[in-house]
Copies of this chain bind each other. A is one copy, B any other.
Amino acid sequence: MSTAPEGYDPHAYTPFAVTVDLAVFTVRAGRLHVLLVERGEAPYKGRWALPGGFVLPRESAEEAARRELAEETGLTQRSVRAFHLEQLRTYSDPDRDPRMRVVSVAYAALVPDLPEPKGGGDAAHARWWETGGTGPLAFDHDRILTDAYGRVGARLEYTCLATAFCPPEFTLGELQRVYETVWGVELDRPNFRRKVLATPGFVQAVEGPPRRTGGRGKPAALYRAGAATALHPPLLRPEGRPEGRTTP
A16-B15, A54-B13 known; A39 and B93 CB under 8 Å? no
A68 and B40 CA atoms in complex are apart in Å by: 40
Q: In the complex, what residue of chain B is closest to A158 when comparing beta carbons?
A: B158
A15-B15, A16-B15 known; A5 and B57 CB under 8 Å? no
- Find A67's partner among B1, B7, B126 (CB 8 Å cutoff): B1
Whether the pair B57, A101 counts as a contact (CB closer than 8 A) is yes
Q: A215 interface residue, CB < 8 Å from B?
A: no
Encode A94-130 as 1/0 by CB contact (under 8 A) with B.
1001011111010000000000000001110110000
Q: In the complex, what residue of chain B is closest to A94 when comparing beta carbons?
A: B58
Whether the pair B15, A17 counts as a contact (CB closer than 8 A) is yes
Specify which chain B residues have a CB less than 8 angstroms from the CB of A102 in the assembled complex. Answer: 8
Copies in the complex: 2
- Find A92's partner among B94, B101, B105, B158 (CB 8 Å cutoff): B105
Residue tally, chain A, CB below 8 Å to B: 64
Whether the pair A3, B60 counts as a contact (CB closer than 8 A) is no
Specify which chain B residues have a CB less than 8 angstroms from the CB of A72 in the assembled complex. Answer: 5
Specify which chain B residues have a CB less than 8 angstroms from the CB of A219 in the assembled complex. Answer: none
A105 and B19 CA atoms in complex are apart in Å by: 13
A68 and B239 CA atoms in complex are apart in Å by: 39
A61 and B239 CA atoms in complex are apart in Å by: 34
